[in-house]
Amino acid sequence: MTVTETAPTTTDPAVGSPPDPESTVGGFAMLVGSGDHKTIGRLYMVTALLSLIATGVSGVLLGAERIDLGTSDNIIATDTFTQVFSLHSVGGIFLFLMPLAIGLALLIVPLQVGASTVAFPRAAAASFWTFLVSAGLVEASFVINGGPGGGNSDGVELFLVAMIVLIASHLMATVCIVTTVMTLRAPGMSLHRVPLFSWSNLVAGAMWLLTLPVLVGILVILFVDYRYFRDFTGGNTGIYARVAWVFGQPSIYLFAIPVLGFVGDVIPTFSGIRHLRHRVAMAAIGGFGILSLGAWAQLGFTIDFTSTPGTPFVDEGPWIAFGLLALVPLLVLLALWAGTMSRGKVKVAPPLTYGLGAGVVLFVGVAIGAVIPVDQLELVGTSASTAQAHAVIVAAVLALFGGLTYWSSKILGTSMASAPSNLIATVLTLGALVLVVPDLVAGALGPDDLDVIEMLNLVSLVGGVLVALGALGFATIFLVAAADKVPAETDPWEGHTLEWITDSPPTVGNFAEVPEITSEAPLYDLRHLEATS
């Protein structure tokens, strides 16, 4: 008899079978009770995009505040500055960027590795609902004059507890994603044949699981301290300083690891050939991940903490080495991507535009990170660090928006408009550069150049506004595509990886059957098999 060689790995009886319309629960009950990784992923994405509003508004306010450095209280009152600043950074990373990355990974990674579901689907669902509640509590803590630096003790305590729960929910989702890549791969897909996006999520997840628990431990100590004595927290002034290491070098790179995987997936697809030296690319992504481990680069906990302490780690060898070495894997990847594009036949399309923009902006961010430790430039603690963080985060945003565009047929079942997407990717890339470069230059200037710094801050604000407009434009065309009734093709881009043989959007169980996997690009293999035969 003839059998398909590559049966799905999981024993889920729903594999390959269409959903029973009689048993399908619709509406809110379907959302709340769903353990389908695609539904959970979509919920994560929508919530993350909504969270972008608070992050974007606070960012523009902070940018406007810096235009006139001579006076305080321009737009933001002095006593609320820390709250607005922390809302921008905490919200940007934990309420927007991570949930968006997790949502995209929950939806796409099982499809890429040929699994019928995500590992621990109920845990994945629980992680989303926990995230939703805790994210609401984090936002609420700011509303009631809490958050780090807040004047309302209950609000500060609420912030600390909600952040612990929020990060725990992210870690729970991360365990689901990493376990999926490690255990639910289709037969034939050894670890070195995993698509780069899934690989980057495996690396990012592993690094998050090693780093973010340290932040949880710190938040527990801060909560107990704030509630009972306020020694380490210095009243409410020391809380943000204790968690700010997550937003600095090298930990900030944690959130950019999936960028590398996304770019690594789209460049071969739109070049029409395999990724040049796939295993080297995997090693480079792994190396970048290892160099993003940075829980050690934080402020020491000191007794009688009354003011923001210095940064004792900046003169240490590891901090300098991590900053410089992070450039190496990125340069390797850039060389591989350039080689892949030069050997292939490049088709310009929105995902590629996003991917190239993300690659350029990330390179700028990592390059800034490499020069910050240079002692003679005196960039530590200046706006150069802000420039680096902004570059890395906007690179991640570009990649995630590109991912949503690339996989919109799997996410929404429809395609996103090409021309506006290309424009938005370009605006975001240019906005990121205009946002970042003036901050880097301002960081190198001294206090005698206040006028020049103010002018640079104005230019940087223009860049920030461009990024905000780009994000707004993206949200608009995303909503338009969601409302579109024209179904997308199964494989609109001639992709190389398994998600492109599933329906758009994928049905329950994802795959009717999985083709034989003999390389990291099984669908590319199939096309060439057909061409040669």
Partner 1 sequence: MSNLPAPRTVEVVGGAPAPEPARPRVLLVGTALASGASFMVFAGMVGIYLSVRSSVIAGGDSWLPAGAELPLTPANMGLFTLLMAAVTMQWAVDAMGKSDRPHAYLALGTTLLLGVSHVVMMAYYYTQMNLVLNGESSTQAVLIYSITGLHLAMVVAALVFISLMAFRALGGQLTGRDREGVASAAMFWHVTIAVYTVVWYSIFIVK
Residue count, binding to partner 1 (CB under 8 A) = 60
CB under 8 A: which stretch of 79-87, 148-156, 298-306, 325-333 binds partner 1?
Answer: 298-306
**DSSP state letter for 415:** P
Residue from 80, 145, 179, 519 touching partner 1 (CB under 8 A): that is 179
The one among 176, 387, 428, 453 contacting partner 1 by CB under 8 A: 176
Please tell me whether residue 412 adopts helix, strand or coil conformation: coil
Q: Does 32 bind partner 1 (CB under 8 A)?
A: no
Q: Which of residues 299-358 bind partner 1 (CB under 8 A)?
A: 300-303
Please check whether residue 190 is in contact with residue 130, taking contact to mean a CB–CB distance below 8 angstroms: no
Cα distance between residue 327 and residue 336, in whole Å = 14
Instruction: For the CB of residue 227, give the shortest distance to partner 1 in the complex, in Å.
Output: 8
Minimum CB distance to partner 1, residue 249 (Å): 18
Given candidates 104, 178, 260, 404, which one binds partner 1 under the rule CB under 8 A? 178
Choices 47-55, 388-396, 447-455, 519-527; region in contact with partner 1 by CB under 8 A: 519-527
Binding of residue 523 to partner 1 (CB under 8 A): yes
Question: Which span (54-62, 182-190, 254-262, 442-450) binds partner 1, by CB under 8 A?
Answer: 182-190
DSSP 17: P
Q: How far is the CB of 228 from partner 1 (least distance, A)?
A: 4
Whole-angstrom CA distances from 24 to 30, 34, 116, 186, 509 are 8, 11, 18, 27, 14
CA 10 to mean position of chain CA atoms: 29
The site string for partner 1 over 224-253 (x = CB under 8 A, - otherwise) reads xx--xx-xx---------------------
Q: At 340, list the tokens.
A: 């892949």
Q: Is 290 in the site for partner 1 (CB under 8 A)?
A: no
Q: Is 452 in the site for partner 1 (CB under 8 A)?
A: no
When asked if residue 216 is in the footprint of partner 1 (CB under 8 A), the reply is yes
Q: What is the 3-state secondary structure (H, E, C) of 79-138?
A: HHHHHHHHHHHHHHHHHHHHHHHHHHHHHHHHHHCCCCCCCCHHHHHHHHHHHHHHHHHH
**Binder among 256, 515, 520, 521 for partner 1 (CB under 8 A):** 515
Q: How many angstroms separate the CA atoms of 433 and 441, rounded?
A: 12
Q: Which member of 96, 501, 506, 521 binds partner 1 (CB under 8 A)?
A: 501
Closest of 460, 254, 263 to residue 369, by C-alpha: 254
Distance CA 265, CA 439 (A): 31
171 binds partner 1 (CB under 8 A): yes
Query: In whole angstroms, how close is the CB of 287 to partner 1 at the nearest point?
Result: 20
* Residue choice 14, 60, 69, 182 for contact with partner 1 (CB under 8 A): 182
Q: Which stretch binds partner 1 (CB under 8 A): 19-27, 71-79, 118-126, 381-389?
A: 118-126
Residue 202 or 391 with smaller CB distance to partner 1:
202
Residue 516 region by backbone torsions, left for phi larger than 0, else alpha for psi between -120 and 50, else beta = beta
> Could you give the CA distance from residue 420 to residue 431 in angstroms, rounded to a whole number?
16
Pick one of 18, 217, 318, 381: the residue that binds partner 1 (CB under 8 A): 217
Where do the H-state alpha helices sit in 249-290?
257-271, 278-290
Measured from the CB atom, the residue of 314 and 459 that comes closer to partner 1 is 314
Residue from 490, 507, 508, 519 touching partner 1 (CB under 8 A): that is 490
CB-based contact 456:438 (threshold 8 Å):
yes
> Are the beta carbons of 499 and 115 closer than 8 angstroms?
no
Among 209, 321, 348, 472, interactor with partner 1 by CB under 8 A: 209
Q: Is 126 in the site for partner 1 (CB under 8 A)?
A: no
Min separation Cβ 372 and partner 1, Å: 24
User: Using CB under 8 A, which of the segments 94-102, 173-181, 331-339, 363-371 binds partner 1?
Assistant: 173-181
SS3 state at 488: coil
Distance of alpha carbon 428 from alpha carbon 510, whole angstroms: 33
Q: How far is CA 328 from CA 164, 173, 175, 197, 324, in A?
A: 34, 30, 28, 20, 8
- The DSSP code sequence of 342-363 is HHS-----HHHHHHHHHHHHHH
Contact pattern from residue 184 through residue 203 relative to partner 1, giving x for each residue in contact according to CB under 8 A and a dash for the rest: x--x----------------
Q: If binding is defined by CB under 8 A, does position 158 make contact with partner 1?
A: no
Q: Is there a contact between 74 and 65 (Cβ–Cβ < 8 Å)?
A: yes
218 binds partner 1 per the rule CB under 8 A:
yes
Which residues of this chain interact with partner 1, rule CB under 8 A? 1-7, 9-10, 119-120, 123, 171, 174-176, 178-179, 182-184, 187, 209-218, 220-221, 224-225, 228-229, 231-232, 295, 300-303, 489-491, 494, 500-501, 513-516, 523, 526-527, 529-530
